Amino acid sequence: MASVLLCCSLVNTAGAAKEPAKEWGEVRDPYYGEVLFQFYQQSYFSALTSLKVSQQFERMPNHKLDADVLHGGLLLSYGMYLPAEQIFRDLVESGSVTQRIQDRAWFYLAKIFYTRGYLDEAHAALGRVAGMLPEGLHEESLLLGANLYMSRGEYGPAVDLLRQVSPKTEWGLYGRYNLGVALIKLNRPDQGVPLLEEVGKNKVRTEEFRSLRDKANVALGYSFLANDTPITARNYLERVRLKGLQSASALLAMGWAQAAQEQYDRALVPWLELQGRNEFDAAVQESWLAVPYAYGKLGAELQSLTEYKRAIARYSHELGRLDQAIQEVRAGKLANALIELGGDEQQEMGWFWSPQALPALPAGRYLLTLLASHDFQEAMKNYRDVQFLRRDLVAWQDKVSIYRDMLDNRRRAYSERLPRVLGAQRQLDTDRLKTAYSQAAAELKRIEANDDVLALADEKQLAQRARLDRLSAAIKRTGDPALTEKFWRLKGLLLWDVSEEYVPRLAETKRSLADVEQRIADSDDRRARLQRAQRDMPIVLDGFAARIEGLNRRIARLQIDLARAAEEQGAHVARLAVAELERQRERTTVYLTQARFAVAQMYDQASSNAPAEAPP
């Protein structure tokens, strides 16, 4: 979850770093908006894919910084620390982000490293925080630093940090609890116990803090029980809720506190209460041994023997179920069952995935504690991510088949259309058109140079001119001055009309000739493109075919790698589960041995106390 918080918080603050007046939600590049849509839909794999493609083609110029931050956060969520850390280092060194954003980035990096179990890296990242984090994050960073020191057994520096946690914040109770534990580890119970008492008495409203309160009281109870002060231990254990997560541990400890005072009849009360609870709980299983022990101390040998035999049967049955569970885990059933319980298998890989229930396998009932651990959760997430990628590659294989079909259809369409296009091109005699155009252009040039207005006369005007030419000889023969004058007037009128229309006709003719020139040029361009397509299209199609086959080979190689990774990660999950089951088996074996030894002792004692037979 921390990497997602990193993305959400840093993307907003990065977007506002240079332009505070802008609203955080403003998106100025559509491709970045698409990435954000996928991100907030929790489709993190699709978001990462779209982001990398858009970054490669520089489609997000207005959100380059935001995209880099989001890229780093998404890589972190998949455990790709080295490339993610390099992205953030580049941002810091480039001076693109403010010190406040740098500090938040280093804090979240430290938090993610800690969650994943990389404690040295977490400590180094937290040390890069130069300023004061905002309220809330500052308190959390103090707790994180203290936890890192405590994980190394360095309780002194942890105490120094925990003393700075304000009790008025939401992290205050956690700070007081950890401070109390750290002080007790430093053999300063006079300072640590009051802090745990404060947490144990705190009036809280949420289930989270009620559980923390119970945890503090149980810790105090066991601490005083170990120091042979059972009365004080009881006072703390009595504060623990009977319905809480710590109730089984508290009931078991309460019984031992009563037993330490030799009040075995009272010790039976919490232990018998435990026997009606979940038989897979470690405290319940220990009570199977504690109950006959108490009966024995009360002198109820028959009941004690009966309960010891019942405990032997229960432990033997448990060993059988544990052996079966171990076999199932080694067969790979647990990991696949947990993935099926994690929701829709088409859901994308991501940080938020977790199984929704315990698997219906014997192994699942023994692994509640393991399922809650960070190591196992991360191992399962990695295993699920590998399986998701394997399914994604299968989908890509199907797409490769589709691409092959598309390419075949394109080849077929090319083969069918090419002869028709070539035939149409041959029918278009461009050489003849070019000759005609050249002649027309030369004629127009002559007309314009000589102002040959009659050359641009229309058909009616040409007909009138021809008629006047025919009448010219006849009028000359008549010698009639009136007819001659009328003839020249008509001829002059015709020349006037033609001259009036010469300029617009010349311009129109030029435009028509230019249009013909453009059409000829377009035809030449189409012919050139057709020739290039005829030459290049087979090469292009072959290139597509090579890319498709290269993609197919790459998918095949990745499938082999992912199959190997899935096998290795599944084996890692199995090793974690088997180690937990073996630990429980070892504990159960110890309980079984103790129960059998107690029965043997009772039989030996009964034999030694039996009256000797009279001599014959």
Three-class DSSP labels, 400-413: HHHHHHHHHHHHHH
Q: CB-side exposure of 71: number of CA atoms within 13 Å?
A: 25
Burial class (CB within 10 angstroms; exposed 0-12, middle 13-18, buried 19+) of 412: exposed
**Higher pLDDT residue, 547 or 381?**
547
Q: Give one word for 209, left, alpha or beta, with left for phi > 0 and alpha for psi -120 to 50.
A: alpha
Closest C-alpha to 488, from 517, 518, 468, 459: 468
Q: Is the pLDDT of residue 365 over 80?
A: no
Give CA–CA dist 61/315, Å, rounded. 67
Closest C-alpha to 164, from 146, 149, 180: 146
Q: Is the pLDDT of residue 453 over 60?
A: yes
Q: Is the pLDDT of residue 13 over 50?
A: no
Confidence of residue 495 (pLDDT cuts 50, 70, 90): confident
Read off the pLDDT of each residue in 582-593 and give the average, rounded to a whole number.
94
Q: What is the largest distance, in Å, between two alpha-carbon atoms of the chain?
A: 194
Kindly state the helix (H) or strand (E) to which residue 159 belongs, with its residue range: helix 155-162
Q: Is the pLDDT of residue 23 over 80?
A: no
**Whether pTM exceeds 0.85:** no
Give CA–CA dist 461/454, Å, rounded. 9
Confidence of residue 245 (pLDDT cuts 50, 70, 90): confident
pLDDT tens digits, 25-74:
578 899 999 999 988 887 888 899 999 999 999 999 988 888 888 888 88
- The full 3-state SS of 549-615, as one line of letters, equals HHHHHHHHHHHHHHHHHHHHHHHHHHHHHHHHHHHHHHHHHHHHHHHHHHHHHHHHHHHHHCCCCCC
pLDDT tens digits, 173-212:
899 999 999 998 899 989 999 999 888 888 888 888 889 9
Instruction: Say what the pLDDT of residue 225 is.
Output: 92
Can you tell me whether residue 80 is helix, strand or coil? coil
The token duo for 69 is 């931050």
Give CA–CA dist 594/359, Å, rounded. 32
Which amino acid is present at 75?
L
Q: Domain 1-131, what architecture?
A: Alpha Horseshoe (1.25)
Domain range summary for the chain, segments of one domain joined by +: 1-131
